Each structure stands twice: as C-alpha cells, then as structure tokens.
Copies of this chain bind each other. A is one copy, B any other.
Amino acid sequence: MDKTAIEQLSEPQQKILSFINQYMEQNDIPPTIREIQHGAGISSTSMVSYHLKALERAQLLNRRERRSRGLIVNEPRRAHSRDIVAIPIVGVITCGAEPVPTPDPDTLAESENVIHLARSLVGNADGLYALEAKGDSMIDALINDGDIVIMQRNADVKNGDLAAVFLLDRNESTLKRVYKEGRRLKLKPENPTLKPFYVEARHAQIQGRVVCVIRRT
C-alpha cells in the first residue's frame, strides 16, 4: 500500500500541524515551541521538538535553528504576500477630450481604492496604477464601462503594445496598439473589424502602456 506522507503522520503530529496553521491564521507569525505545546496538548517541549523534527524530515516544514518562531511552513500552494501587489485606482478613463490621468504621488499615497493582483499577472509593479473605464466610448478597444485598466507609467512602449495615446490634433485620448513607422504612428484598434489609422508621431503623446484589463461582472 502506498501511503502518502500525510497518512503516516501520527495523531500528535497532525494536531501540531493544524495548530500551527490555525495559529498563523490568527497571528501572522509562527508559534513558539511552548505555544505549540499547550495549543496542541503536548506534554513537554522536548516532545514538541521531537515531533517537529519528524515533520521536518517529512518535508512538511522547515525551521530556522535557534531562532524564536523559526518555523517555516512548507505549503507550495501558499502564495506569499510579496506575490501580491496592490495597485491604486487613481481615476477614470473616458477616451474623450481629456488626457488619461496619471497619478501624482500625493493622491497615490492616500488613495483608498486599490486593486490586488498577483505579481505573476503584472510583473514588476513599479509605476503601475489603475483606472476605471467610464462610458461606452472604448468598446472598440474591447473595454467596457466599469472595466479596470492597469497602466504602467513611464513604460517604454514597444511596437504592438496596447497604450493610452493622447492625440494633440484631436484633443482626445484613445487606447490603441501602437506601431512606429518612421515618423508616423500606426494606431490599431483591438477590434479587428476596424481599420488601423495613422498619425504624425509629433501629434501623439503616449501616456502609458496598458498592462492588463480586468472586468468584474
């Protein structure tokens, strides 16, 4: 019979493990040996130590030797808080007669609205901010009213990137894929049934790259 590691655990070991998890849920920090002792109903600290060593062998946890609260729980599925990035929602984007807002540090620091995303989705979080789409004017960019658009400020926009572009001659901003073609800029709508068009590069101002679009329904 092929037993998995979890099945081989003795009862006190399971108790210890679940106590550790429960404790960390509540306190964010690992318990001490003596807290485990009482919490899991173990008779002595040496018994806790003994069981912890077994759990260590079973790869279920690691320990930093001689450090207080030195437990490290091995949960491969557990994502770490550093894998989440909080992105401030700094304004709305309307694809209309005004530039897309860019955050100034003040509003950024005190902004209450944030959206949490996994770093795997957005990569390096530097210069990220979020805008809420307002109105139906961007359905050609496949962006709906209420969508959250994650932007990266100061990003270098490469050919084919989706970007917010402000058109000086028309005095409006738009979300398009941009391609540099000499001194012209090709702007290609996301909607493939629409034709791309061209503007003079000096009449266009790239305001940020669109990293990601989130639609909550």
B136–A192 contact, CB under 8 A?
A: yes
Whether a CB of chain B sits under 8 angstroms from the CB of A124 is: no
Whether a CB of chain B sits under 8 angstroms from the CB of A69 is: yes
Sorting the interface of chain A by its residue count into under 10, 10 to 19, 20 to 34 or 35 or more gives: 35 or more
Pick out which of these stretches binds chain B: A96-104, A199-207, A209-217. Answer: A209-217
Copy total for this chain? 2
CA A193 to CA B138, docked complex, whole Å:
12
Main SS of the interface on chain A?
mixed
Whether a CB of chain B sits under 8 angstroms from the CB of A115 is: yes
Q: Inside 8 A of A83's CB, which chain B residues have their CB?
A: 81, 84, 116
8 further A-B pairs in the complex, CB-CB below 8 A; given A142-B215, A213-B213: A29-B29, A68-B68, A79-B86, A115-B121, A139-B191, A139-B192, A210-B217, A213-B217
User: Can you offer 24 A-B residue contacts whose CB atoms are under 8 A?
Assistant: A28-B72, A29-B69, A68-B68, A68-B69, A77-B86, A77-B114, A79-B81, A79-B84, A81-B81, A81-B84, A83-B84, A84-B84, A115-B118, A116-B120, A117-B117, A117-B121, A139-B193, A142-B143, A142-B215, A144-B190, A162-B217, A209-B217, A213-B213, A213-B214
Binding site for B on A (CB under 8 A): 25, 28-30, 32, 68-69, 72, 77-84, 86, 114-118, 120-121, 136, 139, 142-144, 161-162, 190-193, 209-217
